[in-house]
Amino acid sequence: MPYVAEISRTNPTCLLFLIDQSSSMAGPFGGSPGKTKADGVADAVNRLLQNLALKCAKSDGIRDYFHVGVIGYGKGVQSALGGALAGRHLVPVSEFANNPLRVEPRKRKVDDGAGGVFEQSFKFPVWFEPIADGQTPMCQALTLAGQVLQEFITHSPECYPPLVVNVTDGQASDADPRPAAAAVRALATTDGPVLLFNAHLSSTIAAPVVFPASVEGLSDPYARHLFKMSSPLPPQMAEAARADGFEVAAGAHGFAFNADLVSVIRFLDIGTRVARGRP
């Protein structure tokens, strides 16, 4: 049965984000006034990466259950990481956690338990910046992802299958991305094929569609392409999504359409929850 391999320091898996950084990402995030899609995605992914590092933190330090990477595609296609990690496509989570680009002081509203709220200060590590410039060379990004994953699988052939999460708001500008996506999904470890999830962002306020089982209800032709590019949810992830309140039918795919910021955060969390809960 696929997707059951134990994740450990001797048998790590990897998590790779592909982030659309084209000029259209400067547009507003649906349902999030004042926040651009580039800003919202950067915040969501940076937050998830921080949580991933915390999950891997044990009494003896941060254990390398994962290798993580962020590839941006817009004016170019390259690692989106900065600082000491600049130019690297995959980094062990311990090294990743210890080398953020910077740590920002931020504030959030917290329930005071008496019907009110108060502002709480916290530190927010940033590994990559929001960028919105250029076109949408998604095919090149998927091709690079395939090369990175092939090298990882060569060294970890029995690992829990790597997960690729592609976050975009538009159509690929460099050809039909479906063949490149199929090539990524064709990669496999002894535990199953690589997982490719896609999140389509929105500038409009409308109900998102998350984890659909078919193209029905997807009015955008390109959204239908992204759905077909996405992997079916493994049973464990489908169970996690249902437990989080999503309606997940048989055959559901790792895909979100017309996603607002809240939907993106929940989508990313579900996509990595099973793996994060295993160490």
Domain ranges of the chain: 13-109+117-277
Beta strands 61-62; 57-58: pairing state? antiparallel
What per-residue confidence (pLDDT) applies to 30? 67
Tell me the pTM. Answer: 0.91
Tens-digit pLDDT string for the chain (279 aa): 789 898 989 999 999 999 999 999 999 876 566 789 999 999 989 998 998 898 899 988 999 999 999 999 999 999 999 999 999 999 999 999 999 999 998 887 777 677 777 778 888 999 999 999 999 999 999 999 999 999 999 999 999 999 999 999 988 999 999 999 999 999 999 999 999 999 998 766 667 899 999 998 887 888 899 999 999 999 888 998 998 888 999 999 999 998 877 788 888 888 776 544 444
What per-residue confidence (pLDDT) applies to 144? 98
Cα(26)–Cα(131) distance, integer angstroms: 8
What per-residue confidence (pLDDT) applies to 192? 95
Within 8 A by CB and 6+ apart from 257, the residues are 200, 208, 209, 210, 212, 218, 220, 223, 226, 227
What per-residue confidence (pLDDT) applies to 221? 84
Here the tokens at position 215 are 């193209």
The answer to whether 19 touches 37, Cβ cutoff 8 Å, is no
Just give the CATH number of 13-109+117-277. 3.40.50.410
Taken in order 129, 131, 136, 140, the sign of the CA dihedral is negative
- Outline where 138-186 has alpha helix (H): 138-155, 178-186
